[in-house]
Structure 1
């Protein structure tokens, strides 16, 4: 009898453990996912524009998804490092910084529309997983080469921006210009502010990403960016596109579900609408080594 009661008690304990494990598994599978991205401008509309992404991912992943906007490049790195964010749509330099502290793992690289480097216009149907840094000056400027930027005023983005700072600065150093004391640099928070600064002659040049005049043309109803601004220089180095990154210790099945959801976006009406926030036109498997060049350029820029 005693043995029977002991066996029944043991079975009860095992059942309780199994039910508890199932309950915890269910809680994990229902856990809300936090997504964050860095906006291309600070016009106050990006929060609302992120709703299609939250809706799409919630539907495809069958769980609640919240999308937030990072205040800048460093804040998304901090959010990934601290585990506050599960999925980061990360600019290349921000991703490399988070990767080095084991705060992020790239599962996909974004694809962007490619540009004709002679005209600056989009190449219809052409996609690329890299882009160039671009230095813009006024069309009537007498600046004709990278070397001519010496003693000029330049508007840049954060020192953690690949195209808005790191790559142009690194290549200026290679051209024999010391950005620390041979140019005057002003940092702003977004590209429309950079473009405005050059248009209004507050600065001589701006560091932006390739195709910026196309992307932000609608922001300038009184200016024709192609008539008033020209490309002085495209960086020789290719910059890898944004990374879709997750927490490195995320469940492998969930990583695969997220990867599949992003890969299918371009073939889904709601997905295409969601991608439009950043101009992404698709995703492909991440070649993590492709981001090594960002680290190399960061070291050159800081010499």
Structure 2
């Protein structure tokens, strides 16, 4: 009997230890932060490239961080709305969508390298918190103005992309072109696919972001993007950079901690390398009102 009671006691202690371990595991999972972003290309490498960013945030915030890749603009909006993601590195139009349903709150905006609008080349040491939409055509194209796009084949990104759709469409409407009836538009999922379509003459023009030829030059080993493509048009409207957005009901202290880590990222070598996956060169405070221009242009594009 004494042996039986001892055995029962050991079993009870073992079960208690298992339950305790399961409880700790749950606590750790609850403590983990999920970050999500939308890739600028779909070559399948972006998740692996984001690991240094996850490691950096994890070290600075002293908690597990998981970085996930959204399949498209709508996916990150849905993920923020449903609370599956704690921090979204969100394209501006996607952020506005999530904000309208109380799924996201911008705490920062990213800073990017600025470009010379005449040459299309980077301006060394110059940073900006906005960019332009850019329309690219082949260098030998006879398209010379926005009005010349009437009747042409245009390759675009998702209708929720500011530079890849919303801003160019809105400004085409302003010069009297009805994009729904007077041009042929084909949507693709990433910018390299857009560039390839114009290079191969499958499309007459592509809607991209300012500086796209610089960013994706290494993807085209057989083509010189600056020799073969030229900028037809830069949008008049300035587009705010990516929003660093969090869940609106996130603990206030955690929000401030996240904000501090992002603001200081550019001052550390590891931080600078980690955020380079998106071309970000720093972050700054952002008000939601900075994204009002997205709201205005979205309305114009949808008319």
Look up the match of 2:141.
141
Tell me the TM-score normalised to structure 1 length: 0.91
CA distance in structure 2 between the partners assigned to 1:298 and 1:31 by the alignment: 37
Look up the match of 2:13.
none
Look up the match of 1:234.
234
Can you give the 5+ residue segments of structure 1 that lack an aligned partner in the other structure? 1-22
Where does 1:15-26 land on structure 2 (aligned, <5 Å)? none
- Shift of residue 58 of structure 1? 0.3
Look up the match of 2:188.
188
- Shift of residue 273 of structure 1? 1.2
- Shift of residue 30 of structure 1? 6.6
- Shift of residue 27 of structure 1? 4.7
Look up the match of 1:80.
80
Where does 1:107-256 land on structure 2 (aligned, <5 Å)? 107-256=107-256
Measured at CA, do residues 285 and 28 of structure 1 come closer, stay the same or move farther in structure 2, by a change above 3 Å? farther
CA distance in structure 1 between the partners assigned to 2:28 and 2:252 by the alignment: 13
Look up the match of 1:264.
264
CA distance in structure 1 between the partners assigned to 2:117 and 2:101 by the alignment: 36
User: Is residue 287 from structure 1 mapped to residue 292 from structure 2 by the alignment?
Assistant: no
- Shift of residue 274 of structure 1? 1.1
The answer on whether the counterparts of 1:158 and 1:187 sit within 8 Å (CA) in structure 2 is yes
Deviation per CA, 1:191-234, whole angstroms, max 9, x where unpaired?
A: 00000000000000000000000000000000000000000000
- Shift of residue 268 of structure 1? 1.1
The answer on whether the counterparts of 1:86 and 1:247 sit within 8 Å (CA) in structure 2 is yes
Three-state SS of the structure 2 residue aligned to 1:181 is helix
CA distance in structure 2 between the partners assigned to 1:266 and 1:83 by the alignment: 28
CA distance in structure 2 between the partners assigned to 1:43 and 1:159 by the alignment: 21
The answer on whether the counterparts of 1:30 and 1:63 sit within 8 Å (CA) in structure 2 is no
Alignment RMSD, CA only? Answer: 1.5
Deviation per CA, 1:4-38, whole angstroms, max 9, x where unpaired?
A: xxxxxxxxxxxxxxxxxxx99x9599710000000
Look up the match of 1:8.
none
Can you give the 5+ residue segments of structure 2 that lack an aligned partner in the other structure? 1-22
Three-state SS of the structure 2 residue aligned to 1:216 is helix
Where does 1:49-88 land on structure 2 (aligned, <5 Å)? 49-88=49-88
CA distance in structure 2 between the partners assigned to 1:38 and 1:271 by the alignment: 20
- Shift of residue 269 of structure 1? 1.5
Runs of 4+ in structure 1 deviating by more than 4 angstroms, as ranges, are: 26-30
CA distance in structure 1 between the partners assigned to 2:72 and 2:60 by the alignment: 28
The answer on whether the counterparts of 1:112 and 1:129 sit within 8 Å (CA) in structure 2 is yes
User: Is residue 275 from structure 1 mapped to residue 275 from structure 2 by the alignment?
Assistant: yes
